[in-house]
Amino acid sequence: MAASFIISPYQVYNIYRFGLASVLWGLVYLDRAPSFFGAFIPQAFLTTLTLYWVTTLLLLYLAELKKAESITLIFFGFLCDILAWGILLHSSGGITTGFGLVYVIICASAALLLPRQLALFIASVSVLGLIGQEIWMQHLLEHRNTAFSQVGGHGVLLFTTTLMILWLKNRIQLTESVAQSFSQINEEIITLMDVGVIVYDGKNAIVHVNNAASRLLKFEPGSLSTLESLPTLYHDVFIRGKNYFPHQHRRFQQLPMPPYTLLLVFDTKKEAKHAQQLRLAALGQMASNIAHEIRNPLSAITQASDHLKSRPENTTALIEIIERQALRMNQIIETVLSLSKQSKPDMRWFHINDCLSSIVVPKSDFTIRKVNTHCLINSDFSMLEQVLTILIENAAQHATEVSITLDHDDEGGACIDVKDNGPGVEQQDIPSIFDPFFTKNPHGTGLGLFLAQRLCDALGAELYYIEQSEGALFRICLGPKVGIVHE
């Protein structure tokens, strides 16, 4: 219904000129017109005004009938304006009456409604009309003061107005073209999305529906006008507030974007399939890495076994090789098993010192220095102990001392810094230190930091490396919801 009240700029201009002609005609008819109206040629003024009023009424009628707004019809209307106002101006005494300012509105409207060439033509005809009538006035009244300076000023004003409106119109059209292009691109993207999208307003009237929504909810595109057209969806999602339907493999999410709301429809079956593919891909990559890592100690064991067969007298060193490589294989297997058996964290309050005290010092000449650790923390004791053990054992391989500092992070959550006095991590190795099987230690598995980061993920925490000028610094941020209680 609201769309019926929208009128075009051409209709607005028709209403304006009909209203102006009606006011002038009414003033003359009621004998309330200024004295200069038709002062020079009264009959020509009255006749022209009457014909102009009829013409504007006809043009307004055609506009109300929603006739095609052809350029020819619009151009004809402006020519009628120029002719009528030229006669009204001349019959009232010329440019000095002030009627010439009406041409500014005529030229501005022509620039808005007509193409550039025709708009400039209207401005040119208007200026020529003003010059022509002034020349004719001088011819008829030889002793009249000339007003060519006013005519020149009007001419400059008319062309300036026309060119300015044309420039603004061009800028607006360019902006609209770009906006329309982006709108088409966005609509095409939404149409091609696998996620169903339904856009509706505050009255539940559907504004846009993409193909995915039609497919997932099983209705014909364009067949729905309101959300109530899908009674089951409307009752379950909007009345009951239910967003997940496992049996139908559907999940819904509402995103308010005033004055509209986006209803997203997800195909959980496709999501589950995609997640399964990602898990299989990750499993394949992990299996490949494990196979590669186990192949090395197996190769060493096989070679040592061959040497035992060929040289049975020298067995001690070969047995040590077999034991060491078997231990390495066992560590890899235990780490992989621990990753697969991660359970839900058991969050509880405990002293961080208790967690640190249970960690065995890796070597006798290694020192663990505690800073601000005499307080309670809310986390999973076992998981956090594993993470700290891995970090401390890593530090013991390269340093003589490690400091454990407990503090608040920028968001007010618990933050644990593990800093050693060793050489630190080389610049080129920093992006890879949390990758599985990455190690510079020939006797290491390369799974320690990888496991520590996975444990932190399970805790809802973050583990990352902070580059230092001296030593290595690993920070565990347990999140803003995990606070510290000082005792």
Average pLDDT over residues 112-140: 87
Q: DSSP letters along 37-90, please?
A: TTSS-HHHHHHHHHHHHHHHHHHHHHHHTT----HHHHHHHHHHHHHHHHHHHH
* pLDDT exceeds 80 at position 127: yes
Most confident of 23-37, 227-241, 329-343: 23-37
Average pLDDT over residues 63-89: 84
Average pLDDT over residues 306-320: 70
Residues in CB range of 48: below 8 A, 6 or more apart = 84, 87, 88, 91
pLDDT score at 2:
41
pLDDT score at 321:
72
pLDDT score at 3:
43
Rounded Cα distance between 223 and 191, Å, is 16
Q: Which of 72-81, 107-116, 208-217, 290-299 has the lowest mean pLDDT?
A: 290-299
pLDDT score at 116:
93
pLDDT band at 4 (very low <50, low <70, confident <90, very high): very low
Q: What is the pLDDT of residues 367-379, one digit of tens each?
A: 788 877 677 788 8
pLDDT score at 295:
67
Measured CA to CA in angstroms, residue 55 lies from 18, 27, 51, 66, 92 at distances of 9, 18, 6, 17, 21
Average pLDDT over residues 76-83: 92
Are 191-269 and 347-486 in the same CATH fold?
no
Average pLDDT taken over every residue of the chain? 80
Average pLDDT over residues 402-423: 82
pLDDT: is 204 or 161 the higher one? 161
* pLDDT exceeds 90 at position 468: no
Most confident of 82-91, 193-202, 244-253, 333-342: 82-91
Cβ–Cβ < 8 Å for 301, 325: yes
pLDDT score at 80:
93
pLDDT score at 414:
77
What single-letter amino acid sits at 131?
I
Average pLDDT over residues 67-80: 83
Rounded Cα distance between 372 and 349, Å, is 16
Which fold, 191-269?
Beta-Lactamase (3.30.450)
Average pLDDT over residues 57-71: 76
* pLDDT exceeds 80 at position 176: yes
Eight-state DSSP code of residue 235: I
Residue length, the chain?
487
What predicted TM-score, i.e. pTM, was given to this entire model?
0.47
Three-state DSSP state, 379 = strand
Average pLDDT over residues 59-87: 83
CATH number for the segment(s) 347-486: 3.30.565.10
Cβ–Cβ < 8 Å for 207, 267: no
Rg (CA), the chain: 43
Q: What is the pLDDT of residues 182-216, one digit of tens each?
A: 877 777 777 777 788 888 888 888 888 888 888 88
Q: Which of 308-312, 382-386, 430-434, 453-457 has the lowest mean pLDDT?
A: 308-312
* pLDDT exceeds 70 at position 67: no
Q: What is the pLDDT of residues 235-273, one digit of tens each?
A: 777 777 777 766 667 788 888 888 888 888 888 777 667
Domain ranges of the chain: 2-179, 191-269, 347-486
Q: Which residues pair with 260 in a beta bridge?
A: 201, 257
Three-state DSSP state, 126 = helix
pLDDT score at 350:
85
| 414-420 β-sheet, strand order | 367-371, 401-408, 414-420, 473-477, 462-466
